[in-house]
């Protein structure tokens, strides 16, 4: 193939002499110089001629010299497109002859199970081996090393990689990597040398890595990782610093791999040093007239045992507090001074607030489907106002709680050319919010449950929720349609409505031979009164049919005789809620308050009121443990001449109320020995969550111990703590793919002869 840059006629071909460099040859004219009248490029198949001309330092009309020829060769060879380049002259026509490198048509990886193949292919692209790239054989070794590096990160030190290159038509190649992963190496020994004040067992409890245990198949904590070891070493350092050892040091960290490449031995040598207390603790620098406020944030006190975490928390609190006032780049640096003779550490915290800055723009990215408005209305930091780190963090949390995104990141970026402005960039990652669920579940209460639900939580990216639910529980059958608009008004007033039909057949629980069917509709409006509080008001209509037979409990037969099989109610309801939990599914701190009241007006067949008050508290105990407390009081009362409807009674027993007792069996019974529930209920629960050994980082799978108390009472009874039933036990909580699962082994503490106990209980889909 011959390509000319201009249409000048070829002249006599000069005799040539080959000059070789890096397997690239140059043929130049015996004459020292000539003026280039034309340039021809030969050997091209894929590369455009314009690409070659763009790299050539020679143009038509230039004087050709040996020096320019060598420059041209170096330039073309440096592109990586060619295996060979030859420059020759035919008269005053310059001829460039090239041999192109082949293109990579395909990359195949065989034998890998540890990684997704696409992940490995992306890693190979980083070293220049990928489909459609130019093939460079010298990069194959780098590609093999990159694959092995990926496996080393998973403790597979015996992984082997063999590469095959197949020549294909049209100057292409196919590359195949055959991988033998081998077995994962495991930690056989983990030793700490030099500890005197603490046992090796105490120190190793701080580590994520271990020599293995019952759950290592799941947590993989016995597989060595350089990153994990570095993290564990820092935990070890923090352990000592938080207990007063201010001059603690890591002398050596040694990792040895056995010849079989399956066993790893880790030895950490430490020097504990002396135990110190805090001496003088001072603040210096620019305190902006907030001396007392900033000193109030200091957690390090003179005379107390030295604690590195207290210093870290202090500096962070100072920086965060200054960030609330617009100082986005504030620094608080700890300057320690050790007095080894007195064993005290004098601390000076130097504060540099920097400049106060404005937020120029709040940017949102990644929301390919959700409208900008849906995200921006959750912002509490506004553009053209002072930077406030508290409001920015709150904005992130509110967007995260929407449930529309799998990931929400936020970062600040200085505005180029200014020293007092920043941009706040929020990057979100969309996740599917439409669900079509067809499935089955099982619990110790309801046996087999078939369910179907269609729900779209973010309809057309507007933030509205529409749902259709069908549940075929053996006891409770439900079909409902609901719609919620969280921003019915721009001020955050929400509106929701629901149309439903519920059918209850408690005969399977031996609670009586009767059927209650309720059909209703309602609408509710919610009003935010603070960042964590809402009040709500609503109204609805509900019709109830009560079917009884010859063997139905006497109380239902009497109710039908007095009021008939059918009744209806016109309902008004109100509520208050407060929620400051750090997570809605697996909280570790915060509080939840719920207060609801429902009033059946005289417009219906009966007049009554039912109220529920619930409090939940979550307390973190260290970094691994959580104490959860729950209390609930429910009371229903008839008004005027109307009794409280028996089909609205509440029940107790089982998961969610008092474990260790059969579901819904506590309280009084009728003449047929059937539990009748009550119009009032008192429930109390305490749960202490702790990690399962070997899974300390997994908050979705935790064990717990519990203490439950509760019972139901009739409308003419007073709630008495002496009548409560108590139980204790252990359990496992798992956030499974099908919903929260709880399994408990409960032991009743004060059961009586009429109580029905059930020690092993489980359920899917309930909370506390």
Q: Which tokens hold the place of 354?
A: 């920097």
Name which residue leads in pLDDT, 170 or 648: 648
Q: How confident is the model at residue 170 (pLDDT cuts 50, 70, 90)?
A: confident
Name which residue leads in pLDDT, 129 or 459: 129
Name which residue leads in pLDDT, 738 or 663: 663
Torsion (CA) 73, 79, 82, 86 in degrees, nearest 10: -10
The 10s digit of each residue's pLDDT in 342-368 is 999 999 999 999 999 999 989 998 888
Check residue 299 and report its DSSP letter.
Answer: -
Q: What are phi and psi of 472, to 5 degrees?
A: -115, 45
Percent of residues, the chain, with pLDDT higher than 70: 88
408 has pLDDT over 90:
no
Q: Please give the pLDDT value at position 152.
A: 80
DSSP H or E run through 473:
none
The structure tokens 């109710």 sit at 559
Other Cβ atoms less than 10 A from the Cβ of 191: the count is 12
> What average pLDDT is seen over the chain?
84
The 10s digit of each residue's pLDDT in 272-324 is 999 999 999 999 998 988 989 999 999 988 999 999 999 999 999 999 999 99
Q: Which tokens hold the place of 685?
A: 């629960």
CA-closest candidate to residue 704, choices 663, 740, 745: 745
CA-closest candidate to residue 512, choices 480, 558, 561, 543: 558
Percent of residues, the chain, with pLDDT higher than 90: 36
pTM exceeding the 0.85 threshold for the entire prediction? no
Is residue 480 classed exposed, middle or buried when 0-12, 13-18 and 19+ CB atoms within 10 A define those classes? middle
Contact 236, 251 (CB under 8 A): no
Q: Which domains does the chain have, with CATH numbers?
A: 2-100 (3.10.20.310), 103-180 (3.10.20.310), 186-271 (3.10.20.310), 277-352 (3.10.20.310), 358-430 (3.10.20.310), 434-764 (2.40.160.50)
Q: How confident is the model at residue 703 (pLDDT cuts 50, 70, 90)?
A: very high
At CB < 8 A and 24+ separation, what contacts does 430-439 make?
Answer: 430/366, 430/367, 430/368, 430/369, 430/370, 430/404, 430/405, 430/406, 431/404, 431/405, 431/406, 433/403, 433/404, 433/457, 433/458, 434/458, 439/738
Contact 268, 252 (CB under 8 A): yes
CA angle, corner 323, sides to 318 and 328, nearest 5?
120
Q: Report the relative pairing of strands 16-21 and 63-64 from DSSP bridges.
A: unpaired
The top-scoring range by mean pLDDT among 72-76, 109-113, 246-250, 435-439 is 246-250
């Amino acid at each position: 193939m011959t390509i000319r840059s201009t249409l000048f006629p070829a002249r006599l071909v000069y005799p040539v002499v080959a000059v070789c460099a890096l397997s690239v040859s140059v043929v130049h004219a015996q004459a020292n110089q000539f003026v280039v009248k034309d340039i021809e490029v030969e050997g091209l198949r894929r590369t455009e001629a314009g690409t070659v001309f763009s790299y050539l330092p020679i143009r038509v009309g230039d004087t050709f010299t040996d020096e320019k020829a060598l420059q041209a060769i170096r330039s073309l060879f440096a592109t990586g497109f060619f295996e060979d380049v030859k420059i020759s002259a035919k008269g005053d026509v310059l001829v460039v002859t090239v041999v192109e490198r082949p293109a990579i048509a395909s990359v195949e990886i065989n034998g890998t199970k540890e990684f997704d193949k696409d992940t490995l292919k992306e890693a190979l692209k980083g070293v220049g081996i990928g489909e459609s790239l130019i093939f460079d054989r010298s990069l194959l070794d780098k590609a093999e090393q990159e694959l092995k590096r990926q496996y080393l990160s998973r403790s597979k030190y015996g992984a082997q990689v063999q590469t095959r290159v197949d020549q294909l038509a049209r100057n292409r190649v196919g590359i195949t990597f055959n991988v033998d992963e081998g077995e994962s190496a495991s930690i056989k020994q983990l030793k700490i040398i030099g500890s005197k004040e603490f046992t090796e067992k105490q120190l190793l409890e701080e580590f994520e890595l271990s020599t293995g245990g019952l759950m290592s198949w799941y947590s993989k904590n016995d597989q060595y990782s350089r990153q994990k070891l570095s993290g564990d070493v820092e935990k070890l350092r923090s352990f000592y610093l938080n207990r007063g050892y201010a001059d603690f040091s890591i002398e050596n960290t040694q990792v040895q791999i056995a010849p079989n490449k399956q066993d790893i031995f880790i030895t950490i040598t430490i020097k504990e040093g002396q135990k110190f207390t805090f001496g003088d603790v001072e603040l210096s620098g620019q305190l902006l007239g907030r001396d007392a406020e900033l000193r109030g944030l200091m957690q390090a006190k003179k005379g107390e045992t030295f604690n590195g975490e207290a210093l870290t928390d202090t500096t962070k609190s100072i920086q965060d507090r200054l960030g609330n006032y617009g100082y986005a780049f504030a620094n608080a640096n700890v300057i320690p001074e050790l007095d080894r003779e007195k064993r005290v550490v004098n601390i000076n915290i130097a504060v540099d607030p920097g400049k106060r800055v404005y937020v120029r723009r709040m940017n949102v990215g990644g929301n390919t489907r959700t409208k900008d408005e849906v995200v921006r209305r959750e912002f509490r930091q506004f553009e053209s106002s002072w930077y406030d780190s508290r409001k920015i963090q709150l904005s992130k949390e509110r967007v995260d709680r929407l449930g529309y995104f799998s990931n929400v990141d936020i970062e600040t970026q200085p505005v180029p050319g200014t020293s007092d402005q920043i941009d706040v960039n929020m990057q979100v990652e969309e996740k599917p919010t439409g669900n079509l669920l067809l499935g089955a579940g099982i619990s110790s209460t309801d046996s087999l449950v078939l369910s179907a639900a269609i729900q779209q939580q973010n309809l057309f990216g507007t933030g509205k929720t529409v749902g259709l639910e069908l549940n075929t529980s053996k006891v409770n059958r439900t079909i409902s349609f609901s719609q919620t608009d969280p921003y019915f008004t721009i001020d955050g007033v929400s509106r929701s409505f629901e149309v439903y039909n519920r059918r209850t057949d408690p005969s399977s629980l031996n609670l009586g031979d009767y059927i209650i069917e309720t059909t209703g509709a309602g609408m509710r409006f919610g009003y935010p009164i603070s960042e964590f509080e809402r009040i709500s008001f609503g109204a609805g209509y509900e019709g109830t049919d009560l079917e009884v037979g010859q063997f139905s409990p006497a109380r239902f037969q009497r109710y039908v005789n007095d009021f008939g099989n059918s009744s209806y109610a016109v309902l008004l309801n109100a509520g208050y809620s407060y929620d400051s939990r750090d997570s809605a599914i697996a909280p570790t701190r915060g509080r939840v308050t719920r207060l609801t009241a429902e009033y059946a007006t005289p417009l219906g067949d009966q007049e009554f009121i039912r109220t529920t008050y619930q409090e939940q508290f979550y307390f973190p105990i260290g970094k691994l443990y959580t104490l959860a407390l729950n209390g609930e009081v429910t009371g229903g009362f008839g008004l005027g001449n109307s009794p409280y409807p028996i089909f609205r009674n509440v029940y107790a027993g089982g998961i969610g109320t008092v474990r260790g007792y059969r579901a819904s069996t506590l309280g009084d019974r009728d003449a047929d020995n059937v539990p009748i529930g009550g119009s009032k209920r008192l429930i109390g629960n305490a749960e202490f969550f702790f990690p399962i050994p070997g899974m300390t980082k997994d908050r979705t799978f935790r064990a717990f111990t519990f203490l439950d108390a509760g019972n139901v009472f009739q409308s003419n009874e007073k709630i008495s703590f002496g009548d409560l039933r108590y139980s204790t036990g252990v359990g496992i909580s798992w956030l499974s793919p099908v919903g929260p699962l709880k399994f408990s082994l409960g032991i009743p503490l004060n059961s009586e002869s009429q109580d029905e106990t059930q020690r092993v209980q489980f359920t899917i889909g309930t909370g506390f």
